[in-house]
Chain A
Amino acid sequence: MKILAPLNSPEETEMLLANGAEELYCGLVPEEWVARYSGAIWLNRRSPAGGNLRTFSDLARVVQQAHGRSVPVFVTLNAQTYTASQLPLVLDLARRYVEEASVDGLIVSDPALILELAKQDLPCALHLSSIAASLNVAAVRFFQSLGVRRVILPRSLTLAEIGRIACEIGSQIELEVFILNDGCIFEEGFCLTTHHRSVGAFCVGLARMDSQSFKLSGAPWASGEEEEINTLLQDFHRRIDALTNYACSARPQTALPLAPCGLCAIPAFHRMGISAVKIVGREASSLRKLASLRLVRAVVEKTRNGALEEAVQGYAQTLRESVAPCVPGEMCYYNAGATTNRSHLRESAGRWR
């Protein structure tokens, strides 16, 4: 099980390699894309300005350094969809990523792009982005038949659901899972909104909308019913805040991520034969990337060293407790450590609300 870390600058490569990154991923949005589509239409799932490299020479530098340590580099081309008019440029970029920069894999989502890339027969792997929302074994098999080598499973899947996929098809295809930073209240692959700064993420913006609930029957509210619905809406907003990393904040002293994670599930993923655990946040500061990587690496190493599952989970929760509320349902992707007694942590979670 490899640790996959994000970057958005060649200057971060050495730092990440030296601190245990075993695979790297990044995006590159060149000037020709920006000239045609500005910042409104994203080539991949991050804005051109924030989460991406800007030149092929930068990408080549990243790959060269990574390959010097036998670490592969994967590049994102994972927009929800590309139109027929965008595709020639996207295919040209894919070819240049591979031929000019020697990247090892492309992270893709759109079936039409996958089919076109398969025809190009580029010497690189195709990894299926979580944006493709492969939620079941048959979906994994479908994309495998299109030539995908690895499937990144959406973080909306439970541990048991991932376990079933791993059990039934994990021996035939690489599986990757999310492990740290940023969640999504919606299924990314079915969220057809923009995160562009002019309006912000739709989910985060809900808290600023004028909202009113109704009973579909048209009947009047029962006593306390409307208040209950309004409280539910507030809880929903708070959950979105937590998942989206409190609008991408971090504690300034340490830069450790105040964000959801799946650290407690690492022993289970190890046992399932998961190929890679992914740290989210190409756009994050270098310091936050480093802190995230160290956090994941500490738990992965404990697992690799044969520590018991409960001990690893306790260790992970202790690491998290110092920086963020480690509470089931609050900051968890997978709720793997839910059986551990963490009631004392719920109290501390209140500090963050």
Chain B
Amino acid sequence: MEWAIHVADGSSLAHCDDFLSCQPRRSELPLSDLQVAAADVVQRVAGPVRPQRAYLGNEFCQYLIPARESFSKVCRELWERGLAITFLTPPVTDAGLDKLRPLFAWLASQSNGTEVVFNDWGTLQVLHEEFDVLQPVRGRLLNKTMRDPRVTPLYNAPDAPEGIRASMQPGELEMPSLQRLLRHYGVETVELDILLQDSTSDLRRLPFQVAFYFPYGFVTTGRQCMTGALHLEESERFRPMQRCQRECRLYLTEHRFVGTTLPTDGTVFYQRGNTFFYCPNTEVLERFLLGAEARGVGRVIYQPDLPM
């Protein structure tokens, strides 16, 4: 099983050297407890692991697509450290694709087979038509299994109806037609989140390598960014084209689901930039790692921070 480390940009290269010891850096934050716990689970279950690969960039916002100069600089540094690169891309408009194309062209000129995660079918189309030396990886945003921690543990409970429980599993990859489509486009790796509904499906049956993000899963995202609107007048806020100042790099909001009688009352969501995340508890994380090899998990992508 391969280990990868998420590197948002050049400022987080230090993660690569010893990625389990780079936290806690912010003891006041609620996240620091999660970060310590996640690192502890990895140490306990997997031992001292070193990443063989870096996941570079972000999956959620096209305003965070890097400029070509800084992108190539970080790539070179990662290659010098002996890490393979997987370049993360978000859902994009045509303007976003215009920003990605020069990066794809540069990557394609450097080496064959560099991976690019697509979270947009248009990005896959562009990779296929224009940059076929790059290796497309289906991103986790295109796995549409329900990820609503308010209900998914309930829908997957042993006493839930069989039909509902089955609907909580990421089953679309088992369909031969989708498998054929992805293979036609050259996809060999697909990404998933660790689900709170405790998926135990056997991944070895799939004709893909399956990669999981660890520990954070995403819940929802969009183009209307709360944090990015901080410096704007009220009338200008929450528009798809608002001019942000990358406030997502500065702030985090924690939301606690409360005031209900549901067993999931108290569930916490983490909002960073335009995206909401959940973090499974250590029990779920530990169970995932303990069973990973046997289930056929091909790769774990460790995220020291919420991935933005």
Which of A170-212 touch B at CB < 8 Å? Answer: 184-187, 190-194, 196, 198-199, 202-203, 205-206, 208-212
Residues of A within 8 A of B29 (CB): 214, 216, 218
Of B71-79, B109-117, B220-228, B296-304, the segment with at least 4 beta carbons within 8 Å of chain A is B220-228
Q: How far is the CA of A212 from the CA of B145 in the complex (A)?
A: 28
Q: How far is the CA of A327 from the CA of B234 in the complex (A)?
A: 12
Q: How far is the CA of A139 from the CA of B97 in the complex (A)?
A: 11
B230 to chain A: closest CB distance in Å? 6
A344 at the interface (CB under 8 A from B): no
Give the residue among B163, B235, B269 with the most A Cβ atoms within 10 A: B163
B141 to chain A: closest CB distance in Å? 5
Q: How far is the CA of A300 from the CA of B144 in the complex (A)?
A: 36
Is B93 in contact with A194, judged by CB distance below 8 angstroms? no
Is A112 in contact with B175, judged by CB distance below 8 angstroms? yes
Is A215 in contact with B251, judged by CB distance below 8 angstroms? yes
Is A232 in contact with B28, judged by CB distance below 8 angstroms? no
B92 at the interface (CB under 8 A from A): yes
Which of A144-192 touch B at CB < 8 Å? Answer: 146, 156-158, 161, 164-165, 184-187, 190-192
- Whether A38 contacts B164 in the complex (CB less than 8 A), given A82-B172, A161-B95, comes out as yes
- Whether A134 contacts B226 in the complex (CB less than 8 A), given A81-B144, A196-B151, comes out as no
Is A346 in contact with B235, judged by CB distance below 8 angstroms? yes
Is B121 in contact with A111, judged by CB distance below 8 angstroms? yes
A348 at the interface (CB under 8 A from B): no
Q: How far is the CA of A211 from the CA of B276 in the complex (A)?
A: 13
Is B122 in contact with A135, judged by CB distance below 8 angstroms? yes
Q: On chain B, which size bracket covers the interface?
A: 35 or more
- Whether A139 contacts B125 in the complex (CB less than 8 A), given A112-B172, A202-B148, A229-B251, comes out as yes
Q: Which residue of B is nearest A192, CB measured?
A: B147
Residues of B within 8 A of A157 (CB): 93, 240
A103 at the interface (CB under 8 A from B): no
Count of CB-CB pairs between chains A and B under 8 Å:
240
Is A233 in contact with B235, judged by CB distance below 8 angstroms? no
B229 at the interface (CB under 8 A from A): yes
Q: How far is the CA of A273 from the CA of B122 in the complex (A)?
A: 22
Is A210 in contact with B258, judged by CB distance below 8 angstroms? yes
B177 at the interface (CB under 8 A from A): yes
Residues of A within 8 A of B175 (CB): 84, 87, 112, 115-116
Q: How far is the CA of A184 from the CA of B274 in the complex (A)?
A: 13
Is A232 in contact with B229, judged by CB distance below 8 angstroms? yes
Contact digits for A276-302, partner B, Cβ 8 Å, 1 yes 0 no: 000000000000000000000000000
Is A194 in contact with B256, judged by CB distance below 8 angstroms? no
Is A212 in contact with B122, judged by CB distance below 8 angstroms? no
A137 at the interface (CB under 8 A from B): yes
Is A212 in contact with B254, judged by CB distance below 8 angstroms? yes
11 contacts between A and B (CB under 8 A): A115-B177, A161-B93, A185-B224, A186-B220, A186-B224, A187-B223, A193-B148, A209-B256, A216-B250, A229-B253, A239-B238
Chain A residues at the B interface, C-beta cutoff of 8 Å: 36-38, 40-41, 80-87, 110-112, 115-116, 119, 132-143, 146, 156-158, 161, 164-165, 184-187, 190-194, 196, 198-199, 202-203, 205-206, 208-218, 228-229, 232-233, 235-236, 239, 327-330, 335, 346
Chain B residues at the A interface, C-beta cutoff of 8 Å: 25-30, 91-97, 120-126, 129, 141, 143-148, 150-151, 155, 161, 163-164, 166-167, 169, 171-172, 174-175, 177-178, 180-181, 218-224, 226-227, 229-230, 234-241, 249-260, 262, 269, 276
Q: 6 closest pairs, A vs B, by CB?
A: A139-B122, A138-B122, A83-B171, A186-B222, A80-B144, A81-B144
Given A136-B94, A184-B222, A329-B236, 6 new contacts (CB under 8 A): A40-B155, A41-B164, A84-B172, A210-B256, A214-B254, A329-B238
